[in-house]
Each structure stands twice: as structure tokens, then as C-alpha cells.
Amino acid sequence: MGKPTGFMDYEREVPIEHAPLLRIAHWQEFGIAMPEIKLQQQGARCMDCGIPFCHTGTILSGMAAGCPVQNLIPEWNDLIYRGQWREALERLHKTNNFPEFTGRVCPAPCEGSCTVGLHGKPVTIKNIEKTIIDKGFAEGWVVPQPPARRTGKTVAVVGSGPSGLACAAQLNKAGHLVTVYERADRAGGLLMYGIPNMKLDKKVVQRRIDLLAAEGVVFITGTEIGRDIPASQLRKDYDAVVLCGGATQGRDLRIEGRELGGIHLAMEFLSRNTKSLLDSEHKDGAYLSAEGKDVVVIGGGDTGTDCVGTAIRHKCRSVTQFEILPRPPETRQANNPWPEWPKVLKTDYGQEEAAALQGGDPRRYLINTKRFTGDDAGQVEALHTVLVDWQQDEAGRFVPVEVPGSEQVVPAQLVLLAMGFTGPESPVLEQLGVERDERSNARAAYGRYATSAEGVFAAGDMRRGQSLVVWAIQEGREAAREVDRYLMGATNLP
């Protein structure tokens, strides 16, 4: 724990951010680092709670409660309070290969399960985590640590997102020769091209990839397994294969007018934007521009928020975000008790920026899009919507029921579909003969990660479906442990 009375002595404080109207003029991260004394006070708020639910990493009511990688949160909070930053970094790296990623993009289920948050405001765990690793890099404490010996065993990891990178890092640590295949021109997967730069600076991602390469991990980019190299060839060339390709099939909206121009899946919009930004600072024009357009984002999650923030930086004329579900409550409800993830209203950076520009929250709840209409050139110009009310059907399930007379026509020249993902793409799984579950994911038991194909393992979103970056890291680490066991007969990996 930190200071015994810290949770009573100090209020929760989070980093100051650049004002919305200032930060939308650039693509950089916009948080302002807190002074160390402030961070020590925040670490002091960690109480002697007996059972630290913050790092339980369990599933309650279908959502994460506590940290999926079981970060030793009370330990490094105490170390920060005492000013022992390097020791805190060592404890952090014991469970999390990439705290610089989770400290920036994780929604922090640990804070939702913090005991201080039971009757007050939780400890600022996420910000402390980010500060520890950023200080570690700044002080030169994070350096390449190649394994002392090599086993001679070879492993191919397909996909360089968070699960693939975590798996590769752990297998390399065990002494295996690891090659990571990535179809994009840069390694990083979702971290590189799926999350905007202002949320996760790509220099931060590349820094860690360079570190892994210095430790001996080989990255082969611009190579798609299943197309450029048959997946079956990997099984011949390597002692084991780990599939970490993610759940990259975006959920589409197949309604009238879907064929019109200007309607895109969110990931196409986000990935092309980031690639153009990195390649040429948008000078090549190789991205979907929202400039001067009325933009409608369909979907209320993190990806939808990223679309809102990106469209604003393009200087769109307006942006609106549709959500078919009701507006979340301001506080926990009786059916959502601690330590469950709090299902409450959260206003993220994109909504803050839209509100500053437009004078109000861009989100509209309980709205369903019925069809798209376009102009003579075949470009979308409007969405036809209706309000819905969620009611129980005869089977007791809640279903959306249209509200009579609530139809509206909403102008839009760019529509972005951010409704989640339906599962992994098929070619690799089909070529390897991997069985799939009822949701089309690679079938591999949690904790074992072995697929129906001999020597082939699966981890991350490709196995569990769309999820959090922190779950992907956790699965990558655990899959590496099972691959090591498969190759060596025993394992020392956690």
C-alpha cells in the first residue's frame, strides 16, 4: 500500500490536457505530464484494502473487472509513493510487456475495481502506469535484453498487433528464434494503424518494436500470410505457428443505399489516415478526407470516438455520432455493483472536441439508420433514421422497437461504420485447417491456446473476438507459455 491515510489525505487528480480547440490543430498526444510529487501523492491513495480487486483480471457480467494481465498495482503504487521509480518499473514489467500502450489506450478496468472507488474516486492507476514506463525510457532504464542462450527452436507469429508482439517478446525471452509476419508496411497492427496518433503516438510503438528487434525478434512486413506466403508453408518452415491476426472483419450495415460512395468502415478511414500522416503528413492525399463534410459516425465505442476526433482534425463541417443503445446513466446502478466495470456515461476526447466546436455532445442515442440516399453522382447525401425503444419480446429478450413518427433525414457526405468487428479473416485459418467456433474465431481453449491443427496456436482477438488491447497482451503472453511448453516439454514462462 501507499500512505495509510493517503486515500483520505489526497483527492484524485488526473493529468491536465491541452484545451480541445488547441489540440485539434495537430496530431500529437495532448496530455500534460504531472509533477512527480503529484504522482507520489496519487500513489499514496492506494489503500491497504486486503484483497486488491484491481489486479484480479476476472470477467463479471461479461466485462473485465480488474487488470487482465494481473499488474502488481498496489506494489508499484507503494514504490512510487516512496520515490523508488526504477523498482516500480521492474514490478510493472513483470506482468506487462508494453505498459506504454496500456497506459495510453486501456480503458482501465483496474480503476473500475479499485477499492477506493467503492465509496469515492479510484486511484489514478492508468496514469501512474504510463508515467512509470515513460520515465523508464527517459532515464535509459529500458534497454535491449536478448536471451543468454538460444534453443534452436523456430516460431512464426502471424500478426504484429498487441497479442503478436507480446507472444513474440515472451518466446524470444525463452530463447526461441521468433519471426513476426505483418501484412502492412509497418509493424504494430492495431497499435500502428488502428489507433490515431493523438491517442497513441507511433514513435512510442516504433520504439518498442525497435527494442524487440534489438533483442532478436525478426519482423517481416509487407507480407500477407495466406496470399504472399501459403499458411501451410509456415508449418513446414517453423517448429510452431501462433496466429495473432486479430478480429479484422468490420461489422457492416447492409441496408438500402449501402453501395453509395462516401460510406466506409471505420478502420479503412482510420488506417488510411494514419498511414498518410506517417508517410507524408497528409501531403500525398492518400486518405479519406472529412474536410468540409457533414460526417455521421455510426457506433458509440472507442473506434467511433477515434473517428470523431480524426474527422474534426480534418476540419469537417459537422460530426454526429449515432448509438442505437440508450444513454448510459451518470452513476452506477443497482444492477451494476462494484467491482464490475462501471457502465456509466463517459465523455472521451472526441466528444469533448466536438462539443467545444459545435456547442454540444455529438452523440445521439436510441437512433437506428434505415437507409442511405445519394445524389446523381452516386455519393451519399443523407441518412434516413428512426428512434427506437428497447422492449422485451415474448422470449424475454430486449429488442429495439421503432417509435412511430420519429423518422428524420440527416444530411451527410461521409458515413463511417464503427459498429465493431465480426471475427478474423478466413484464408489463414482455412489453409491451416483450423476449426472455428460459433462466432467464426479460431477454436482454441483459453489457457491452452492450441488449435485443432498440430503445432498451431491462436491468441488475442483472433481467438476470443473483439476485445481490449490489454486482453490481447495477456493472451499473447499466455500463448507463448504454452508454445514454449509444446516445444520444450516444460516452461518457465509466466
pLDDT exceeds 80 at position 201:
yes
Digit-coded pLDDT (tens) for 102-113: 999 999 999 999
Predicted local confidence at residue 57, as pLDDT: 87
pLDDT exceeds 90 at position 115:
yes
Is 226 in contact with 432 (CB distance < 8 Å)?
no
Looking at the fold, whether 166 and 212 belong to one and the same domain comes out as: yes
Looking at the fold, whether 226 and 262 belong to one and the same domain comes out as: no
149 within some domain: no
384 within some domain: yes
Q: Is 119 exposed, middle or buried (0-12, 13-18, 19+ CB in 10 A)?
A: exposed
Last residue of a domain, one of 382, 400, 419: 419
Average pLDDT over residues 76-98: 97
Looking at the fold, whether 286 and 395 belong to one and the same domain comes out as: yes
Looking at the fold, whether 166 and 218 belong to one and the same domain comes out as: yes
Cell numbers at 16, concatenated? 491536465
Is 276 in contact with 446 (CB distance < 8 Å)?
no
Beta carbons within 10 angstroms of residue 31's beta carbon: 16
Looking at the fold, whether 360 and 407 belong to one and the same domain comes out as: yes
Query: Which residues are CB-contacts of 50 (< 8 A; sequence separation ≥ 6)?
Result: none
Query: Which residues are CB-contacts of 94 (< 8 A; sequence separation ≥ 6)?
Result: 72, 494
233 within some domain: yes
Looking at the fold, whether 215 and 350 belong to one and the same domain comes out as: no
Looking at the fold, whether 261 and 388 belong to one and the same domain comes out as: yes
Looking at the fold, whether 115 and 46 belong to one and the same domain comes out as: yes
Looking at the fold, whether 305 and 438 belong to one and the same domain comes out as: no
CATH number, position 193: 3.50.50.60
When divided into structural domains, the chain yields a total of: 3
Instruction: Tell whether the torsion through CA atoms of 227, 233, 234 and 235 is positive or negative.
Output: positive
pLDDT exceeds 70 at position 487:
yes
3-state secondary structure of 171: helix
3-state secondary structure of 447: coil
Looking at the fold, whether 212 and 294 belong to one and the same domain comes out as: no
146 within some domain: no
143 within some domain: no
Digit-coded pLDDT (tens) for 350-407: 999 999 999 999 999 999 999 999 999 999 999 999 999 999 999 999 999 999 999 9
Q: What is the DSSP letter of 327?
A: P
CATH number, position 82: 1.10.1060.10
Predicted local confidence at residue 3, as pLDDT: 84
Q: Tell which residue, 147, 144, 74, has the closest CA to residue 493.
A: 147
Q: Tell which residue, 180, 174, 178, 179, has the closest CA to residue 149.
A: 174
Residues in the chain: 494
Q: What is the DSSP letter of 422?
A: E
The bridge status of strand 263-265 relative to strand 249-250 is unpaired
Domain that holds residue 480: 154-249+422-488
